[in-house]
Amino acid sequence: MAKKNKAKTIGALRASGYQVVSLREEMRCNLLAAIKEKKNLFPGIIGYDDMVIPQIENAIISGQDIIFLGERGQAKSRIMRALVNLLDEEIPVIKDCEINDNPFAPICSQCRAKVANEGDATEISWLPRADRYGEKLATPDIAIADLIGDVDPIKVAEGRYLSDELTIHYGLIPRTNRGIFCINELPDLMERLQVGLFNLMEERDVQIRGYRIRLPLDILLVASANPEDYTNRGRIITPLKDRYGAQIRTHYPLTIEDEINIVEMEWRQFSGTECETYIPRYMKEIVAEITHLGRKSADINQRSGVSVRVSITNYETMVSNAIRRAVALGEKLAVPRISDLPYIRSSTSGKIELEGFEDTKEDKIIDDLIKKAVLTVFNRYNKEHELEKLVVQFSGGVSLEVSEAMSAQSYVRHVKEMAGLADAVKLMNDSKEPAAIASAVEFILEGLHLNKRLNKTRLAGGKTVYRG
């Protein structure tokens, strides 16, 4: 509720007719209104429209706490942070309250005393939605004091008795009262801490160093977990898991198109570069196809997963190598080529886990994925009879040399000299830029080689020769 003349005291708030509703009711009403208006509450989330987002909406409408279960790189954290969009722009809280107390029904002893003494003159402040979100990564060093609270020795030293509730220092969860609190990688949280959570979720009964206080927090608890963690690193204890109303399974992009859309949205770009970039559609598809093939590979640990970050960093690496070449050769346009793909080993190897223990196989596995991806995409674009005229040229003894470091103009000369090559390039793209032509030439040659229509020989200095 945002007003130009916002209330500054409980009395003014009451006079304005403001109605405080519970967090879950607030989120439910805002979600239903957004659905009615066809608003996108999860910007940047691609490929989840059919199952995941409807399940989230059902959980919110039901007022349920949520666990997101999925492998790494499936946008679990991004979805959790997007839940803030379901909150009101701002809500009234008692001024200077540590746990954002409802002005009409405070729960901490300090605010109860303040309202009892000052009544309607009690000052309030307005809390924006961004400050109503809390997040914590579960790590071994987390203590119950971090999440729930502990006795504050400074307050004791100031003269308060240990029996005084005011000696308590509230943890992260109480400080997110009337908001959303998320725990990443919940199975990594020690079991005794998980016990503290389910007690808080169900009974609202919190014990801090011998204190037994009722703390009826108005909070939505959301968590993420990787299925692999259930057995390898930790587990969610059954009583806690039972208290989460919805377990929502996330997944990797199901289509190449979704993968490309995510990559184009997420890859890191810089302004002020010395050359422009152009990425052909087939090169985008190859990068996405490598990741999709990796998710089916028997050589890669599928329990660990092959994250979308593999596609993003591979895309960045491929484009970076094209920029490096263009700057070195003084070209104004950078276009990735097939010969740039070996450089993605560095951006892939750290993000996959092999099934075996032979690290020496890693480069070979990545190279095989690249070859399969190029072959798949090439056959999606071409039919063999369309390139028969070009293959015949090679059968007559013609050969072509390519290299990651060759200038784009060198490829343009090949196109002019070889019958059928110009027509083949036009099938790839309509661009007449030399750098785009060079990229298309390499794609065609490698595709024909992988289809066993051309032979390929690697030479020193990173050069490659294609011949019939």
Residue 235's region, left for phi above 0, alpha for psi from -120 to 50, else beta, is beta
Q: Give me the chain's average pLDDT, please.
A: 88
Q: CATH 3.40.50.300 in the chain, residues?
A: 10-249
Quick one: average pLDDT of 57-63?
Answer: 96
Q: Is the pLDDT score of 232 beyond 50?
A: no
pTM given for the model: 0.86
State how far Cα 195 lies from the chain centre. 29
Q: Which residue has the tokens 């071994």?
A: 140
pLDDT in the model for residue 2 = 45
Share of the chain above pLDDT 90, in %: 57
Mean pLDDT of 425-441: 89
Least confident of 8-17, 195-204, 213-222: 195-204
Whether the predicted pLDDT of 278 surpasses 50? yes
| pLDDT score of 108 | 85
Lowest mean pLDDT among 144-153, 342-351, 409-418: 144-153
Number of residues written out for the chain: 468
CATH architecture of 10-249: 3-Layer(aba) Sandwich (3.40)
Query: How sure is the predictor about 160, in pLDDT bands with cuts at 50, 70 and 90?
Result: low
Cβ-count burial 92-112 (b if 16+ within 10 Å, e if not): bbbbebbbbbbbeebbbebbe
pLDDT tens-digit profile of 307-344?
999 999 999 999 999 999 999 999 999 999 999 999 99
For residue range 172-207, list pLDDT tens digits in order.
Answer: 998 999 999 999 999 888 888 888 787 777 766 566
Q: Read off φ and ψ for residue 381, nearest 5 degrees.
A: -95, -30
**What's the pLDDT at 1?**
41
Q: How many CB atoms lie within 10 A of CB 342?
A: 15
Residue 339 contacts residue 325 (beta carbons within 8 Å): no
| Per-residue confidence band for 292, with pLDDT thresholds at 50, 70 and 90 | very high
Q: Based on the number of CB atoms within 10 Å of its own CB, is 1 exposed (0-12), middle (13-18) or buried (19 or more)?
A: middle
What share of residues in the chain are helix, strand, coil (percent, to 5)? 50, 15, 35
**15, 18, 73, 207, 243 from 213: Cα distances, Å:** 32, 29, 39, 6, 21
